[in-house]
């Protein structure tokens, strides 16, 4: 299932499959170490569209909500539960 980083649940892990947006947004995201093919784990999300904290290559990165919506991640969820 491919979802936005903002739709991931706390503690969920996935692989970055796409980064939407223009050159500026894409380069800003990539400068944080978030690239297509990288594993990313969502650590925290603040209530009401706040920053999203993720773990990438053993580094914690805080990403604003707007930028986080541009990061698409493939996660494996068991929808039968």
pLDDT at 5: 95
For residue 30, the model assigns a pLDDT of 95
- Which of 42-46, 58-62, 73-77 is predicted most confidently? 58-62
| Domain of 30, in residue numbers | 2-75
Mind listing the pLDDT tens digit for each residue in 16-40? 999 999 999 999 999 999 999 999 9
SS (HEC) of the chain: CEEEHHHCCCCCEEEEEEECCCHHHHHHHHHCCCCCCCEEEEEEECCCCCCEEEEECCEEEEECHHHHCCEEEEECCCCCC
Q: Would 22 be classed as within a structural domain?
A: yes
Structural domain includes residue 50: yes
Q: Does any domain span residue 81? A: no
Q: What's the sign of the alpha-carbon dihedral 14, 16, 22, 28?
A: positive
Q: Specify if 41 maps to a domain.
A: yes
What confidence tier does 46 reach under pLDDT thresholds 50, 70, 90? Answer: confident
CATH no. for residue 36?
2.30.30.90
Q: How many domains is the chain partitioned into structurally?
A: 1
Is this model's pTM higher than 0.85 or not?
Answer: yes
């Amino acid at each position: 299932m491919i979802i936005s980083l903002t739709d991931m649940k706390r503690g969920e892990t996935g692989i970055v499959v796409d980064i939407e947006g223009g050159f500026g947004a894409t380069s800003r995201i990539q400068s944080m170490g978030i690239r297509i093919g990288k594993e990313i784990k969502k650590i925290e999300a603040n209530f009401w569209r706040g920053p999203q904290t993720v773990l990438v290559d053993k580094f914690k990165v805080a990403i604003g909500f707007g930028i986080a919506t541009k990061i698409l991640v493939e996660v494996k969820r068991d929808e039968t539960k």
